[in-house]
Amino acid sequence: MIGDTGWMDAAEVVRAIEGNAAELLMRMGAVGGGEQRETGGVRWSIGGSPLDYHNAVVEADLSTETADLAITESLRLMNSHRVPGTWHVGPSMRPADLGERLVRAGFTADGSEPGMAVELTQLVSPRPLDDLRITRVEDDSDLGVWQATLARGFGEGEKEARWVAEIYRREGYGDPWRHYLGWLDGEPVATTTVFLAAGVAGVYFVMTVPEARRRGIGAAITHAALCEARDSGIAYGVLGSSSAGRPVYAGLGFREYCTIELYEWSAG
């Protein structure tokens, strides 16, 4: 079994949601060459990505005396690397007024992500799509198709897809990474990635190309990826959802356990 946690209570699920995302951001940032910090009550990777989301502060257990110092240091690094960045403020982060301090320092509140989870034995099967084929990315050629597909409709488009795919190329194609493609009529139309960390399967980069949306493809590829995780011995799937994705994941059995607030700094 790979990281089987067994049954978790709600507090443990929240920690797993935060922990999986933190491990992903730290690992991708390190591969990209970011400066890592895991001391003094704060954890971050800054400078390894052109994307604000991935120059990330992912943990903070700070006092009212040390919080502003940590915020100032994160800003110094973002500016020195000339990159945008983000604090991902989850329920475990302290002090309680961290968001207010970030705004005073010049960060912009950039929305929130519902932190969702499902016990994989309770995963709900979506409506069958007989014409959809789902494959695992196994090599550089497959990853090239995954990159081109992601670029058609996710985040910052080609810029984001190019950086993410390069990180995955350097990481290789075994666990903890699992990347998937969805195909219709021989054409790639959907992507997702599963990251195994913190004892759970984290779901990322769920995207369906615009012309194939509203057919249940996102739900189908997410379900297929999580079934493989379940069959590997993983007990829970977790994710941070967009507002548009929330009902899709709820239909698969996901429940909302927490909220991750995002605070963004744009490089000058």
- Residue 246 to residue 159: CA distance in whole angstroms: 25
- The strand pairing partners of 198, in sequence order, are none
**Residue 178: band (very low, low, confident or very high) from pLDDT cuts 50, 70, 90:** very high
Name residue 98's amino acid: L
75 by Cβ neighbours in 10 Å (0-12 / 13-18 / 19+) ranks as: middle
pLDDT value of residue 155 = 81
SS3 96: coil
**pLDDT at 1 exceeding the cut of 80:** no
- Copy the structure tokens of residue 177: 């990474």
pLDDT value of residue 229 = 98
pTM for the whole structure: 0.94
pLDDT value of residue 243 = 81
- What would the pLDDT profile of 34-90 be if each residue is shown by its tens digit? 999 999 999 999 999 999 999 999 999 999 999 999 999 999 999 999 999 999 999
- Copy the structure tokens of residue 96: 């309680």
- What would the pLDDT profile of 209-261 be if each residue is shown by its tens digit? 999 999 999 999 999 999 999 999 999 999 999 888 899 999 999 999 999 99
For each of the domains in the chain, give its residue range(s) and CATH number, in order of start: 10-114+261-265 (no CATH), 119-258 (3.40.630.30)
- Residue 204 to residue 240: CA distance in whole angstroms: 8
DSSP one-letter code for 57: E
Strands of the chain (E only): list them.
Answer: 35-37, 42-46, 56-60, 85-89, 108-119, 132-136, 177-184, 187-197, 200-208, 236-240, 255-265
- Residue 74 to residue 37: CA distance in whole angstroms: 10
- What would the pLDDT profile of 2-28 be if each residue is shown by its tens digit? 444 578 999 999 999 999 999 999 999
Contact 196, 234 (CB under 8 A): yes
Give phi and psi for 175, each to the nearest 5: -55, 145
pLDDT value of residue 156 = 87
- Residue 92 to residue 60: CA distance in whole angstroms: 8
pLDDT value of residue 261 = 97
- What would the pLDDT profile of 97-150 be if each residue is shown by its tens digit? 999 999 999 999 989 999 999 999 999 999 999 999 999 999 999 999 999 999
- The strand pairing partners of 56, in sequence order, are 45, 86
Residue with tokens 């249940």: 216
pLDDT value of residue 157 = 87
- Residue 234 to residue 81: CA distance in whole angstroms: 38
Give the H or E element holding residue 49: none
Task: Return the closest-CA partner of residue 174 out of 207, 145, 200, 196.
Answer: 196
**Residue 268: band (very low, low, confident or very high) from pLDDT cuts 50, 70, 90:** low
Contact 239, 203 (CB under 8 A): yes
